[in-house]
């Protein structure tokens, strides 16, 4: 039987190549939200229940770590405020 190292794991101890995208999504679920710029023409793909929007609008989507839609707004500040209100750490997708 081998001895276990009692030191806590750090990011340097992890092999990022061993993780699949789904693994990373699960790790961030409930903690991380993604802020993504989106054009009004793309909204129905992420938010099927959304009403028809005027084409050509620049909007912002807030998505969970797994990619599930949380909210849509016309301002980045609005989606950031919503993420923080839900105790989510917002990160941007470019």
How much is the pLDDT for 17? Answer: 64
User: Considering the domain boundaries, does residue 12 fall inside one?
Assistant: no
pLDDT digits (tens, 9 = 90+) for 1-50: 445 555 664 556 556 566 555 555 455 455 788 899 999 999 999 999 99
Geometric angle at alpha carbon 74, from 67 and 31, rounded to 5°: 35
Structural domain span for residue 78: 31-92
pLDDT digits (tens, 9 = 90+) for 58-71: 999 999 888 889 99
Mean pLDDT of 65-79: 91
Global confidence as pTM: 0.67
User: Considering the domain boundaries, does residue 3 fall inside one?
Assistant: no
Question: How many angstroms separate the CA atoms of 41 and 38, rounded?
Answer: 8
Choose between 66 and 56: higher pLDDT. Answer: 56
Rg of the chain, C-alpha, whole Å? 18
User: Considering the domain boundaries, does residue 4 fall inside one?
Assistant: no
Classify 67 in phi/psi space as left (phi over 0), alpha (psi -120 to 50) or beta: left
User: Considering the domain boundaries, does residue 63 fall inside one?
Assistant: yes
How many structural domains are present in the chain? 1
User: Considering the domain boundaries, does residue 35 fall inside one?
Assistant: yes
How much is the pLDDT for 1? Answer: 43
* Nearest C-alpha neighbor of 51 from the set 1, 94, 25, 59: 59
User: Considering the domain boundaries, does residue 8 fall inside one?
Assistant: no
Distances in whole angstroms, Cα of residue 76 to Cα of each of 16, 58, 62: 30, 10, 9
User: Considering the domain boundaries, does residue 46 fall inside one?
Assistant: yes
User: Considering the domain boundaries, does residue 17 fall inside one?
Assistant: no
Instruction: Provide the 8-state DSSP code for 5.
Output: P
């Amino acid at each position: 039987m081998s001895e276990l190292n009692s030191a806590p794991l750090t990011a340097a101890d992890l092999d990022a190549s061993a993780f699949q995208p789904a693994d990373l999504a699960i790790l961030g679920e409930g903690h991380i939200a993604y802020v993504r710029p989106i054009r009004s023409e793309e909204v129905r793909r992420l938010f099927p229940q959304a009403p028809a929007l005027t084409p050509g609008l620049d909007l912002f989507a807030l998505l969970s770590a797994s990619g599930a839609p949380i909210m849509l707004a016309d301002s980045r500040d609005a989606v950031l405020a919503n993420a923080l209100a839900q105790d989510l750490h917002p990160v941007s997708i470019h």
